[in-house]
Amino acid sequence: MLHGWGGTAPSRAHVVHPGTLEELAAVVADAGPRGVLVRGAGRSYGDAAQNGGGTVLDLSAFSSVRVLDDGDVVAGAGAVLAHLVPVLLRRGRFLPVTPGTRYVTVGGAVAADVHGKNHHVDSSFGAHVRRLDLLTADGTLRRLCRDGSPAEQRLLDATLGGMGLTGAVTEVQFGTVPAPTASILVDTHRADDLDTVMALMAEGDDRHRYSVAWVDGTVAGARLGRGVVTFGDHAPEGDGDPRHRTPPPGEPRVGVPPLPVSPLHRHAVAAFNEAWFRRAPRRRIAEPTPLAPFFYPLDAVGGWNRLYGPSGFLQYQFAVPDSGAAMVRRTLEQLRALRVPAYLTVLKRFGPGRDASPLSFPMAGWTLAVDVPARDAALARALDRLDEQVLEAGGRLYLAKDSRAVPATIAAGYPQLDRFRAVRRDVDPDGVFVSDLARRLDL
Ligand SMILES: Cc1cc2nc3c(=O)[nH]c(=O)nc-3n(C[C@H](O)[C@H](O)[C@H](O)COP(=O)(O)OP(=O)(O)OC[C@H]3O[C@@H](n4cnc5c(N)ncnc54)[C@H](O)[C@@H]3O)c2cc1C
């Protein structure tokens, strides 16, 4: 049985662990009527890495990592970012883009075209991919390069953000960024209302490589959306704290502590948000901070995704252009009215999207991500209404987080979906590569 990070909609599949390209090609050639799909580390929230009734490929054996003299990385698609980070830091480099957890694979980062706290400066992961090797449904291993033929480039672009539906990525070459130390110089601003949070972010973007805000959607009135804005930049040689070393990859250090009341009780959620807000300094500038807690605060807490109990949870994440900025407040208001137990609500700025990739999520403007429990009928209806408003605002939902949208919502949010379908039909006319997400959303 496989499920996503949110624990919803599990489905049963036959999981295969090919050790070589030949074995991988043989499994793809043998795919039955329910097809085949690669699964990375299962960190997508919904059903993207599932293929109920079919075959699921685990490419953990494809995990070699090489750093070239110019700082590029050549990595097997099954390599986990947590293993890459120390290797890169030893050479004074860092990942060009990293999501909020380092326990994802290179293949998963490519397939979701993941974004980080630096989207406004460095775009999404796909922007840094120089070439990738893709095993397609006909058993061919194709090397897709930035300067390849137009057909190769179309397939490359569709694969970046293509949620595993164009084939199995086996190896990726991508660029890295300089990181002279393992420290980030962090500016922290605690802001008492949402307008201040958003103004600080819009204004600080130009000056910092990384920016993110945690906002509190649980307080009422004028303080709704108060938050902690953090900006960061790699510390230059001499400015970092020499004691900062990225912790070695491994198991998280602490688990979710036992709580005196149910973690879903509104008092527990409100107390958590209050403590998180108060813990932050009102204003602190250029504080050398170890890299791991800055980029991956949640990785230190094992099993937090079990907070929501057996019915699981989902993450509601949308992007809207600047003209739709009001959706941020509207979403917080509507979820607060329903007393949604929202622990960590994250707001980021996006720079321009990568239009060449039809299913890539980011677009210039804002993105908000809220964890919400699954299987609550009133909440489900509220999210459906929010979907409509996100679309009216010119926005879209993130496929890597989704487990509940309907096909029309995705088609409206991704106007280039037909272009994606055309590439997919060309490369895989029989739909050999398929997922629960693709079936649900008619991708
Ligand atoms: C705590 C947390 C924080 C997160 N923060 C962010 C964030 O800040 N930004 C962001 O963009 N995302 C974020 N995510 C989402 C996560 O980065 C993506 O879902 C990512 O795709 C997960 O990678 P994975 O290796 O676990 O892939 P899986 O979840 O296993 O698979 C995701 C998709 O990738 C495909 N895939 C995986 N490997 C391959 C391959 N070799 N070839 C072809 N297709 C493949 C799968 O078929 C599936 O469609 C976060 C997730 C968590 C749990």
> Tens digits of per-residue pLDDT, 423-436?
999 999 999 999 99
List, in sequence order, every beta strand (DSSP E) within 241-374: 254-255, 283-290, 301-302, 313-320, 345-350, 365-373
**Shortest-distance atom of ligand 1 to CA 104:** 25
Residue-wise pLDDT tens digits, 295-327? 998 887 767 777 777 888 899 999 999 999 999
- Give me the percent of the chain exceeding a pLDDT of 90: 82
**Substitution candidate for ligand 1 out of 15, 64, 105, 304 with most atoms within 8 A of CB:** 105
* Mean pLDDT score of the chain: 93
Answer yes or no: is pLDDT of 241 > 80.
no
- For residue 249, the model assigns a pLDDT of 53
Q: 163 CB under 6 A from ligand 1?
A: yes
E strands in 89-236: 93-94, 129-135, 141-145, 168-174, 177-178, 183-191, 210-215, 227-234
Other Cβ atoms within 10 Å of 377 Cβ, number? 7
48 CA to centre of ligand 1 in angstroms: 9
Tell me, using a 6 A CB cutoff, whether residue 102 lines ligand 1: no
What percent of the chain has pLDDT above 70? 95
Q: Which of 229, 232, 231, 223 is nearest to 199 (CA)?
A: 229
Q: What does the pLDDT average to over 106-132?
A: 98
Query: How many residues appear in the chain?
Result: 443
Helix (H, G, I), strand (E, B) or coil at 148: coil
Residue 114 CB less than 6 A away from ligand 1: yes
pLDDT of 239 reads: 75
Q: Is the pLDDT of residue 252 over 60?
A: no
Exposed (0-12), middle (13-18) or buried (19+): which is 393, by Cβ within 10 Å? buried
Per-residue model confidence (pLDDT) at position 324: 98
pLDDT at 349 over 70: yes
Report residue 409's pLDDT band, with 50, 70 and 90 as the boundaries.
very high
257 falls in which pLDDT band (50, 70, 90)?
A: low
